[in-house]
Amino acid sequence: MAWRSKRRVMHAYDVTNELYDERYRAEQQCKYYKAMEFVEVQGFVVIDVGCGSGLFLQKVSVGANFVVGIDISRKLLRKAKHYAALNVDVVQADADYLPFLDCMFGVVFSFTVLQNLPKPAKTLQEIKRIIKKDGKVVITGLKKAFPQTRFHDLIMASGMKTIVFDDEEALNCYITVLTAL
The reported pLDDT for the residue numbered 9 is: 55
Measured over all CA atoms, what is the biggest interatomic distance in the chain, rounded to whole angstroms? 41
CA dist 2 and 19 (Å) reads 26
Give the per-residue pLDDT at 21: 60
- Pair 11, 75: CB distance under 8 Å: no
Tell me the pLDDT tens digit for each residue of 127-166. Answer: 999 999 999 999 999 999 999 999 999 999 999 999 999 9
Mean of pLDDT values over 3-29: 63
Strand-by-strand arrangement of the 160-166 sheet: 88-92, 66-71, 45-49, 105-110, 131-142, 173-180, 160-166
Strand ranges, E, within 21-130: 45-49, 66-71, 88-92, 105-110
Residue 103 zone, left/alpha/beta (φ > 0; ψ -120 to 50; rest): left
Read off the pLDDT of each residue in 14-35 and give the average, rounded to a whole number. Answer: 70
Above 60 in pLDDT, residue 15? no
Which pLDDT does position 45 carry in this prediction? 98
> What are the strands, taking DSSP E only, across the chain?
45-49, 66-71, 88-92, 105-110, 131-142, 160-166, 173-180
Indicate if the pLDDT at residue 8 is higher than 80: no
| pLDDT tens-place string over residues 67-105 | 999 999 888 898 898 877 889 999 999 999 999 999 999
